[in-house]
Structure formats: structure tokens, C-alpha cells
């Protein structure tokens, strides 16, 4: 297995408060790896260390084979990162921004124009291609920022909460674009607050809790610990009156509904998908089940 990212004993504190606590993990080349955690968990700090924007206090990290501290320019040449809106020039149009970025990345004039047209279409900005970015909404700006990180095909693509601020359709489009990149061999390291997003995209998920990895495994492994959907029954006032955990299968949903029938339950039924809270509850409370770290 070729390793794209290797992290050993990585730690970082801000003002004496530990944010990243002796992390160890490796990401294989071509893998899509998701770091799942709530706000403040340390996701951006880890991305910043891996992309050479911040230095760690202790431990080491290698990206694309190079030490992020000692050989930062070698790393920078092989990665791309979202969230660099600073790179966007407000006075230029969307197309001009992408072309400029592509030229800086070494593409010829014609190739840069072609790439820009493709990305503008992929990120649903065609209607706004000729408008100066100053007039863009937050969501459009976000999509342009994302488009820039796909200008070149890097060895490792870092996406820090890529779908935050996007509507459902843009989110699904972006998932497709990320999958396409992964298919062509690019390693993808992404952070998210959404279990569903990690589940949709990742080969493996690391759950970040208190600066440590609380669980690490495939989505199937993680979900088997979290459990499936929950059938909820709400009364006329909308209050939750009954919850039945299921594994999400048709047969099990039928069992849950039969159970409600037997109980003579009345009300409105909804299906709740597992949330990040459920993940944390599962990985931090179930000492009885084998640790997913053992599966890593």
C-alpha cells in the first residue's frame, strides 16, 4: 500500500489548551478519508497542519511522501485545498478568476480557458460566468472557491467542510465531482459535520472527539456501531411519544410498524437518520463492543 498521508503523534495546543492530541493515522493513496467531528473538534487545525499553513507542536506528518514541516514547498506542489477564498479576486469575473488560477498552475492559455469553462459549468456558475465576483451571493462565492481547488489534479485534495453553505442540489453535485476525482486516483481528505456526507463519500471515517480519534473504520463498520434509522411517533401536538430503533431494512421497519399497531399507537410517523450526536454516543459510550481502532 502506498501511503498518501502519514500522521504520527501529532499534537497542537492553543494557549495551553490541547486541540489535537497525539493523533496517529495513515491514508492510503487513492483513498477518500473523512474526518468527522462537530464544530471546534479540531478539523481545520488538522487540515492546516497537513497543508503546511500551521505547524504542529509535536509529532510528524507526511503528505505525498514529504514532511510537512521540513519540506513544505514539496507538499504544497502536490496538494490543493478549499477555503482559500483569499485567492478570489472580487474585481474579476468568475471565468477570469478560474483562468488566472489555471494559468498560475501552469496551464497554457487555451487549456486554461477550456478548464475554466468546464469547471464553471460543473459548479453551476454558467449564468454568472461573466459577472464580477463582487456581485456574487455567499453560495456562488463558495462554489467558485471550490471550483478553484479542482483546477489542477493534485495528488492529495483537501476539502474542509466542502458542502457547508451549499443547497441540497449543489451538495449532491459536489459529491459527484469529488467521487469523480477519487476515481481518477486522487487521494481525498475531507472534513465534515455530517455522518451522511462521510457515509456517501468516504472509504474510511475517523471520528474526532476531544482532539483524539474516537473511532476509525469503514462507513459500514461505523454504522454497525451507531445503528440504523429510528422510527419516531409524534402525537397531535408534534411531541415525540415513541422511538423504535431499527437497522434500516424493510423487514425491520415492518416489524417496528407492526409493534406500533399492536400498541394501538396513533400519530405521525417519521424516520430519523443517525446524526453526529448518535455517532458520538455510540463511539464514546459503548466500551462493551470492540473498539473500531482495532479494525483500523
Ligand X SMILES: Nc1ncnc2c1ncn2[C@@H]1O[C@H](COP(=O)(O)OP(=O)(O)O)[C@@H](O)[C@H]1O
Contact 44, 23 (CB under 8 A): no
Helix (H) or strand (E) holding 215: strand 212-217
Residue nearer to Mg ion on the CB measure, 160 or 229: 160
Q: Which of residues 29-88 bind Mg ion (CB under 5 A)?
A: 43-44
Q: Which of Mg ion, ligand X, none lies near 230, with the C-beta cut-off 5 to 8 A by kind?
A: none
CB of 178 to ligand X, least distance (A): 19
Contact 5, 189 (CB under 8 A): yes
Q: Which of ligand X, Mg ion, none lies near 162, with the C-beta cut-off 5 to 8 A by kind?
A: none
CB of 164 to ligand X, least distance (A): 10
Q: By the criterion CB under 6 A, which residues form the site for ligand X?
A: 14, 19, 37, 39-45
CB of 39 to ligand X, least distance (A): 5
Instruction: Return the C-alpha cell found at 240.
Output: 415525540
Residue nearer to ligand X on the CB measure, 112 or 208: 208
Size of the site for Mg ion (CB under 5 A): 2
Residue nearer to ligand X on the CB measure, 39 or 137: 39
CB of 73 to ligand X, least distance (A): 23
Q: Which of ligand X, Mg ion, none lies near 45, with the C-beta cut-off 5 to 8 A by kind?
A: ligand X
Instruction: Return the C-alpha cell found at 215.
Output: 473511532
Location of C-alpha cell 514547498: 73
How far apart CA 40 and CA 241 sit, in angstroms, is 33
How far apart CA 53 and CA 43 sit, in angstroms, is 13
Residue nearer to ligand X on the CB measure, 48 or 149: 48
Residue nearer to ligand X on the CB measure, 42 or 154: 42
Instruction: Give the list of residues 6+ apart from residue 224 with CB closer than 8 angstroms, or none.
Output: none
Beta-bridge partners for 80: 157
CB of 110 to ligand X, least distance (A): 39
Q: Which of Mg ion, ligand X, none lies near 37, with the C-beta cut-off 5 to 8 A by kind?
A: ligand X
| Planar angle of CA 162, 60, 27, nearest 5 degrees | 45
CB of 141 to ligand X, least distance (A): 19
Residue nearer to ligand X on the CB measure, 2 or 14: 14
Contact 161, 191 (CB under 8 A): yes
Q: Which of ligand X, Mg ion, none lies near 12, with the C-beta cut-off 5 to 8 A by kind?
A: none
Q: Which of Mg ion, ligand X, none lies near 82, with the C-beta cut-off 5 to 8 A by kind?
A: none
CB-based closest residue to Mg ion: 44
Q: Exposed (0-12), middle (13-18) or buried (19+): which is 287, by Cβ within 10 Å?
A: exposed
CB of 82 to ligand X, least distance (A): 13
How far apart CA 112 and CA 116 sit, in angstroms, is 6
Helix (H) or strand (E) holding 96: helix 94-104
Quick one: which of 239, 225, 214 has its CA closest to 278?
A: 225
Q: Which of ligand X, Mg ion, none lies near 19, with the C-beta cut-off 5 to 8 A by kind?
A: ligand X
Q: What is the phi/psi pair of residue 120, to 5°?
A: -60, -40
State the residues that interact with Mg ion by CB under 5 A: 43-44
Amino acid at each position: 500500500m502506498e501511503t498518501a498521508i502519514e500522521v504520527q503523534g501529532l499534537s497542537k495546543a492553543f494557549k495551553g489548551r490541547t486541540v489535537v492530541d497525539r493523533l496517529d493515522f495513515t491514508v492510503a493513496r487513492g483513498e477518500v478519508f473523512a474526518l468527522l467531528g462537530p464544530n471546534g473538534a479540531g478539523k481545520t487545525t488538522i487540515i492546516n497542519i497537513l497543508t503546511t499553513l500551521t505547524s504542529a507542536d509535536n509529532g510528524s506528518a507526511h503528505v505525498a511522501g514529504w514532511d510537512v514541516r521540513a519540506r513544505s514547498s514539496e507538499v504544497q506542489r502536490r496538494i490543493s485545498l478549499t477555503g482559500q477564498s483569499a485567492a478570489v479576486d472580487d474585481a474579476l469575473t468568475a471565468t477570469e478568476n478560474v483562468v488566472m488560477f489555471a494559468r498560475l498552475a501552469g496551464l497554457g492559455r487555451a487549456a486554461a480557458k477550456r478548464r475554466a469553462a468546464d469547471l464553471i459549468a460543473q459548479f453551476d456558475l454558467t449564468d454568472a460566468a461573466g459577472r464580477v465576483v463582487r456581485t456574487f451571493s455567499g453560495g456562488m462565492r463558495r462554489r467558485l472557491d471550490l471550483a478553484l481547488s479542482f483546477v489542477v489534479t493534485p495528488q492529495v485534495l483537501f476539502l474542509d467542510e466542502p458542502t457547508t453553505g451549499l443547497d441540497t442540489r449543489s451538495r449532491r453535485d459536489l459529491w459527484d465531482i469529488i467521487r469523480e476525482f477519487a476515481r481518477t486516483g486522487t487521494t481525498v481528505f475531507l472534513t465534515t459535520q455530517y455522518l451522511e456526507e462521510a457515509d456517501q463519500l468516504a472509504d474510511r471515517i475517523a471520528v474526532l472527539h476531544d482532539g483524539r480519534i474516537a473511532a476509525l473504520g469503514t462507513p459500514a463498520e461505523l454504522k454497525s456501531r451507531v445503528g440504523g434509522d429510528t422510527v419516531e411517533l409524534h402525537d397531535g401536538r408534534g411531541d415525540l411519544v415513541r422511538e423504535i430503533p431499527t437497522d434500516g431494512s424493510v423487514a425491520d421497519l415492518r416489524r417496528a410498524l407492526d409493534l406500533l399497531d399492536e400498541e394501538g399507537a396513533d400519530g405521525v410517523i417519521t424516520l430519523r437518520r443517525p446524526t453526529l450526536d448518535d455517532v458520538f454516543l455510540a463511539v464514546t459510550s459503548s466500551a462493551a463492543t470492540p473498539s473500531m481502532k482495532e479494525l483500523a
